[in-house]
Amino acid sequence: MLTETNSFTSPDADYTSLSHSATTLDSAIDRARAQLLGLQSEEGYWVFELEADCTIPAEYILMMHYMDEINQALQVKIANFLRAQQSADGSYPLFKDGPGDISCTVKAYYAMKLAGDSIDAAHMLKACAWILARGGAAKANVLTRITLATFEQIPWRGVPFIPVEIMLLPKWFPFHLDKVSYWSRTVMVPMFILCTYKVKARNPQKMGIAELFVTPPDKEKNYFSHVKTPLGKAILVLDRLGRLMEPLIPGVVRRTATAKARDWFMVRLNGYDGLGAIFTAMVNAYEAMDCLGIPADNEQRRIARESIDRLLVIKGDMAYCQPCVSPIWDTGLVALTLQETDRHQRDSHTRQALNSALNWLAAKQLKDEPGDWRSRRPNLPGGGWAFQFGNSYYPDVDDTAVVAYALVQASEQKFAEPIERAGVWIAGMQSSNGGYGAFDVDNTCHYLNHIPFADHEALIDPPTADVSGRCIMLLGKLVNRHPEYKAVVDNCINYLRNEQETDGCWFGRWGTNYIYGTWSVLTGFETAGVPKHDPCIRKAVAWLTSKQRNDGGWGEDNYSYHDTRIRGESHTGTSFHTALALLALLSAGEAGSPEVEAGADYLLKNQQADGFWSDDSFNAPGFPKVFYLKYHGYDKFFPLWALGRYRNERLAAM
């Protein structure tokens, strides 16, 4: 699966070292920067494609058939995309070159069949055989089975009992919306309506997938064979009792719960950015509006539909649908990249682009808007940024740290107020263990990941090392002016010390994987003032250098989420991981090391003629083990950022 990673110990091992002349380095930086500047929008932001596995484009086709709103030309293009992504064995993986995933493969097969592909076509036969060899479509995950239930392909007993009355549970109850992550709530609330009323897809062609089942769906008894824990099995007993008792629920209670669910998601519809600004929640909301009888010409319903279409990427005869978009994240990271490259030689075009970008970002700060995070911090003033163009209920701690850090580095008085608000908000969003989750405080009810619905094990949003590292990156920059942040920073550093793996790295929750996590923490340690000789830093440096490949680069595969024995390793290096490793080592004071020189060589050698780099791999998890992403901007700006920092460190040493 993976080739052996060889520790890099010499600047001339297995490759010819470049001279690193000022001309070579400056030329590489100038070419990449020019390309990056050319991608800035007129409004000032950058946004790159955000690609997921084939589940999302397949679900788009399924949605069209659910609603009987079929755009034939678009369907052809999405089906072309799906066929092109199929693995040689007939399956569909969750990330490029990964193992096949049964849920993704079932949805892709169903979508292609709905689009008109014959079940006797070679690619369909291979997919069908692969699915049957793994137990059939009954083995798909819960979200896939819910889709199949709405299309009347399995009975409703094949999905968890999730009645809309869940909306009426008190906060002290073991399950409550406040106890699950933002992405879970926005997906689940409209889903409660769909499942409670057992909605039926219009499915105008009445197309089914009976051929994908080993046992006829109505005779299948093992829809929940994946539930192994005592808690999960106990909840299955309650599930059966709930189904038996459902007819006894008073009509007034059901109507009250339905109205509460409707009101909850309708107020969060988020205009043209959609519920939660994430695809699955947006589709569920749109279908729930239809179920509730909201007419097609209703403005909110029309906008909800358009918000979904805004996620489409159409290129020639192919199209796919993104899970969401990432303009604030992309723009914040590009701003940090350009600030680094501009330290050496002030460039008027770069300064103009930065000014435009930072003004755009500052205007996107969320202040007094309502947000779910206020459930835990009702008296904390707002000051965060979202990930997407608009997502006012769900500012993101990670994005906020990155954007505010870029504003701090601009050293302009006009940004003083948004910086102050961001610092107060970040400090106030710290969890009790000293770390930071992405959207909520102390969202740590881990038992919820063992209920039957949560077979993806991502129902909560606990603190993680990567987000926490960026929070102290910001607060470390502000602590001289705000000594009240020192205790916050110290508590977070202690949390990160406890989170360090025994071999010296940190887990990467939001980027692949241990290289990403280690970069995140070391950059935070640098601005927080952790000494370079600190044992945690020395151990991390030793781990990073041990993972360098013979060609001078670094790489890490998403397999490391499934098998920690291959953490920090891959069959090939990538510009993204090499850039992260370089940035991490430079933060740790390793500017003069042969490993850093070799890493810079790798980036210079692998730069394309257009100035960018090209990595094929998916580079981040949406949810580790079950959902992966490819940020199309990461191989464009991270290598430039690393070379810019490398150049600045060289100049500082002269």
Catalytic site positions: 398
Q: Which of 649, 581, 644 is nearest to 32 (CA)?
A: 644
Cβ neighbours of residue 367 under 8 Å, at least 6 residues apart? 381, 382, 383, 421
Rounded distance, CA 203 to CA 68, Å?
A: 6
Rounded distance, CA 282 to CA 275, Å?
A: 5
Rounded distance, CA 539 to CA 500, Å?
A: 9
Structural contact between residues 120 and 131, judged by C-beta atoms closer than 8 angstroms: no
- In DSSP terms, 52 is beta-bridged to 629
Which amino acid is residue 436, in one-letter code? Y
Six-digit token string for 637: 């700006």
DSSP assignment letter at 381: P
Give the chain's count of helices (H) and strands (E). Answer: 22, 5
User: How far does CA 619 lie from the centroid of its chain?
Assistant: 10
Strand, coil or helix: what is 145? Answer: helix
Q: In what order do the strands lie in the sheet with 50-52?
A: 50-52, 627-631, 620-623
Rounded distance, CA 399 to CA 315, Å?
A: 29
For 23-38, give the DSSP string: HHHHHHHHHHHHHHHT
- Phi and psi of 50, rounded to 5°? -125, 105
Strand, coil or helix: what is 628? Answer: strand
Structural contact between residues 63 and 70, judged by C-beta atoms closer than 8 angstroms: no
Rounded distance, CA 442 to CA 445, Å?
A: 8
Report in angstroms the alpha-carbon separations of 92 from 211, 342, 350. Answer: 18, 43, 42
Q: Which of 581, 433, 599 is nearest to 519 (CA)?
A: 581
Phi-psi region of 552 (alpha: psi -120 to 50; beta: other; left: phi over 0): left
Six-digit token string for 537: 């830093």
User: How far does CA 147 lie from the centroid of its chain?
Assistant: 22
Report in angstroms the alpha-carbon separations of 201 from 69, 265, 288, 365. Answer: 11, 21, 12, 39
Rounded distance, CA 394 to CA 386, Å?
A: 6
Structural contact between residues 600 and 553, judged by C-beta atoms closer than 8 angstroms: no
